[in-house]
Amino acid sequence: MEQNEKIGAYSIGINLLLVGIKGLFFHLSGSVALIADAIHAMTDVIVSVTVFAGIKISKRKSKNFPNRLYKVENFVSLLSSVFIFFAGYEIVCSVIYKPQTLKIEYLPYAIS
């Protein structure tokens, strides 16, 4: 594995850990901010996986493109921005259209 692939793999692992921690604290506290942050971290995981796959694919050579498939990186960037936009949309919808009233049950967990 090359340096940029290792960094991508570490990014995926760290972001998965953050999703787990933030999800745990959300379940303990009921904080909307923590679930929004967990969704944001999950989006980071999806983007990291997409970028990692883009790095792998862009290094391949093809009969039609002997200088590698470097244009895949542009497509991956566009796809990543769509994921980030969708995460923001989901966060806004969960806050605006939530039918029940939200309350924080365990404030110390929400503060941490």
What is the residue type of 51? V
For residue range 51-102, list pLDDT tens digits in order: 888 878 777 766 666 566 667 777 877 888 888 888 788 878 877 876 666 5
Q: What is the pLDDT of residue 20?
A: 94
The distance from CA 37 to its chain's CA centroid, rounded to whole angstroms, is: 10
Looking at the 3D structure of the chain, how many domains does it have?
Answer: 1
Residue with the larger pLDDT of the pair 71 and 2? 2
How much is the pLDDT for 18? 92
Give me the pLDDT at residue 15, please. 92
Cα 112 vs. chain centroid, distance in angstroms? 21
- Over residues 17-32, the pLDDT tens digits come to 999 999 998 888 877 7
Distance CA 39, CA 54 (A): 22
- Is the pLDDT score of 16 beyond 80? yes
- pLDDT number for residue 46: 86
Per-residue pLDDT band at 5 (split at 50, 70, 90):
confident
Helices (H) and strands (E) counted in the chain, each on its own, are 4, 0
| CA dist., res. 109 & res. 25, Å (int) | 6
